[in-house]
Structure 1
């Protein structure tokens, strides 16, 4: 259900084509909720049939611009007010951390260093976005607040991965020391 509500929210802000919405998922929303091109278009079709969005313009090559109807905006608002977000999260990178003991210590450290590097790269991307961020509407401000969450989470992941790699080295040295003693 969050995909439909994400689309309704974006279409409540201003009209978008399916292509625009897909690009927005790729460039920003995809950091918190992924949606493929086919998922976006399938959901747009459902929302239109349900009367939650409408075509407000057409363009070249059959391009359609959609906007939320009053019913669509009301549904997005209802969802925000009346439902609790799912807190179940699958995090494969952290699942792998639980199993690092199966690897050789240098492989485990290398994994943690790759995690640090990946999060540092994402952090740099978010920092550039934040630097260039305009603040000209409530919708833009809400997006900037979400971006701040991403900045803080990525900083925390970088710090954690550095700590974990250093700790794993220490734990390995302690095990080696115990084995020789």
Structure 2
């Protein structure tokens, strides 16, 4: 269901073709928030257009269509954003691996936690570059740019992952009390 709202949200930012939306997923959302293939995006666009929540704003060569968000789509997106989510079913492979770390010997545990720390360091650095770019697009009329709040969330999440890894590595070296 979230593909629907990801598409509506991207179109709230600006009208786009299916190809442009696929590029936005690839370049912005795929790595950080939501993954969608071309084969998923185009049927979703057709469905949303049939429902009237998006419109075909322009048709170009070779059947290229540019879609825009209709008022009803903006209202639906707003309603979804403001609705308190139900308790989500989480499928986070990285967290599951951390949960199961005690099944490994100390050397393997250490290697995985060090990897988690290095990954957080790398991805945190990538987010910093993105944040700098997004902050460069700010204007007095638009003090917060598209994606900036999510980028800050990511920055803080990777900071927390690094801090957790440091904490975990320190605990692995200490014998249990008792």
Deviation at 1:53, TM superposition (A): 0.9
Deviation at 1:56, TM superposition (A): 1.3
Give the TM-score normalised by the residue count of structure 2.
0.86
Q: Residue 103 of structure 2 aligns with which residue? A: 102
Report the RMSD for the aligned CA atoms in angstroms: 2.2
Q: For the residues of structure 2 that align with 1:35 and 1:86, how far apart are their CA atoms? A: 22
Look at both structures and tell me which one has the larger radius of gyration over its CA atoms: 1
Instruction: List structure 1 runs of 4+ shifted beyond 6 angstroms.
Output: none
Taking the TM superposition and a 5 Å limit, the aligned residue runs for 1:23-172 are: 23-30=23-30, 31-81=32-82, 83-88=83-88, 89-133=90-134, 134-136=137-139, 138=142, 141-170=145-174
Deviation at 1:10, TM superposition (A): 1.6
How many residue pairs match? The answer is 173
8 Å CA contact retained: 2:13, 2:146: no
8 Å CA contact retained: 2:114, 2:165: yes
Gap runs ≥5 in structure 2? none
Q: For the residues of structure 2 that align with 1:98 and 1:59, how far apart are their CA atoms? A: 51
Q: For the residues of structure 1 that align with 2:17 and 2:28, how far apart are their CA atoms? A: 16
Give the TM-score normalised by the residue count of structure 1.
0.85
Aligned in 2, Cα 1:139/1:39: closer, same or farther, shift over 3 Å? farther
Deviation at 1:62, TM superposition (A): 2.9
Aligned in 2, Cα 1:127/1:7: closer, same or farther, shift over 3 Å? same
Gap runs ≥5 in structure 1? none
Q: Going by fraction, where is helix more abundant, 1 or 2? A: 1
8 Å CA contact retained: 1:13, 1:139: no
Q: For the residues of structure 1 that align with 2:46 and 2:143, how far apart are their CA atoms? A: 24
Structure 2 counterpart SS, 1:34 = coil
Q: For the residues of structure 2 that align with 1:152 and 1:76, how far apart are their CA atoms? A: 26
Q: For the residues of structure 1 that align with 2:144 and 2:96, how far apart are their CA atoms? A: 34
Q: For the residues of structure 2 that align with 1:13 and 1:99, how far apart are their CA atoms? A: 41
